[in-house]
Chains A and B, each alone.
Chain A
């Protein structure tokens, strides 16, 4: 019985690999786009323009206040009604990128706010341009605060990518769902699916933890 199931599972191996591929590619694209967009939004959010800042703040609240599943449904089912045709993969990337950008925006904004004003004033006094101030003075110092939660956010992004299976995208979770219809052993199938995610996510969790310790230690030294 269990032997037959294992054989059947071994037959699903190419499908599982493809699912893992979809999960990784989807996460990676959204991770890169979301990081870029998130940094841009975070800089704008702390840029001093009240209107822009509050518009971004309202959008972030909107995204943080609704379940990701609902966001995916909204994008996948409503954008076509507005005349924008898109497949499940694109919808998944839009939803994940938007989600990541909103969370990263807040992380980056918190990092920028943590840089003492004296630093910005010193940069101003040295005649640095706005861009130079941001790139050479503020961001390098903000990174100490930003980096640990940023890596943590990547873990959340990879896990949230499992929700795109709800609109029929064949990612790792969806593969598990398909396989379990044929091989009725949910424990085994989803143990293996979980293992796939664990292999991708656990190193990142360890990295986030180490960064936190190192950055925390560095921070302590500065405060002394």
Chain B
């Protein structure tokens, strides 16, 4: 039974958990920035009329979505050295998370842009706007708002996915739990504590998503000038 659940050991290991939490947060932030960059490029390619950019983007997105992140992570972890890139585990992990999440972000951005009614584009054309002006002044400002809640949802998924990096021995939060579990044979203390930390991050992001939803709802429609 769990009657000898040791809070003292948890307190003793708190600095380790703290370091793990900080690592998880910053590597998630960096990966999310990377995912946004990958997603923007992919969605721009995916929205082209010609097949030259669209087909590779679609193939990439479908491949990423049809295979598990763990297999992708191992593909990079065991595969990159073979191509002559010997990178630290942390960099491989951030790369894998960015490339994986980027495919999902691309779909979110595409859906956001496609959600803008055609009439808006036509009105832009009728007002004599160029393609860039239409994108910048009509479509993107509206699409941006629509994409914020699902992007935050993707951020939640990314933070949770980052736990897999512990399997290539990146010293993040889950790794801290594993260390406590194996050093002291205290799996309950280790894994319940990190679960609590992940929940903390989850509720922060969920609260942010709710806030952004309200902000979007309240945002008055901009009058045209």
> Which positions in A face B, CB cutoff 8 Å?
61-62, 64-71, 73-74, 77-78, 81-83, 155, 158-163, 165-166, 172-173, 176-177, 180, 184-187, 189-191, 193-194, 197-198, 201-202, 205
Closest A residue to B1 by beta carbon equals: A82
Shortest A83–chain B CB gap in Å is: 7
Contacts of B63 in A (CB 8 A): 194, 198
Q: In the complex where A66-B195, A67-B160, A67-B174 touch, is A163 in contact with B70 (Cβ < 8 A)?
A: yes
Distance, CA A140 to CA B203, complexed state (A): 34
Name 21 interchain pairs, CB-CB below 8 A, sorted by A. A62-B199, A65-B198, A67-B198, A69-B174, A70-B177, A70-B194, A74-B195, A159-B68, A159-B69, A163-B68, A176-B71, A180-B78, A185-B82, A187-B79, A187-B82, A187-B83, A193-B74, A194-B75, A197-B67, A198-B63, A198-B66
Leading 4 A-B pairs by shortest Cβ distance: A186-B78, A65-B202, A67-B163, A77-B187
Residues of B within 8 Å of A, CB-based: how many? 44
Name the residue among A62, A187, A201 with the largest chain B CB count within 10 angstroms. A187
Distance, CA A166 to CA B66, complexed state (A): 20
Task: Tell me which of B71, B81, B174 contacts A190 (CB under 8 A).
Answer: B71
Distance, CA A19 to CA B69, complexed state (A): 17
Q: Is B87 located at the chain interface by the 8 A CB criterion?
A: no
Contacts of B66 in A (CB 8 A): 155, 197-198, 201-202, 205
Shortest A44–chain B CB gap in Å is: 22
Contacts of A191 in B (CB 8 A): 75
- Indicate if the CB atoms of B62 and A202 lie closer than 8 Å: yes
Distance, CA A74 to CA B79, complexed state (A): 31
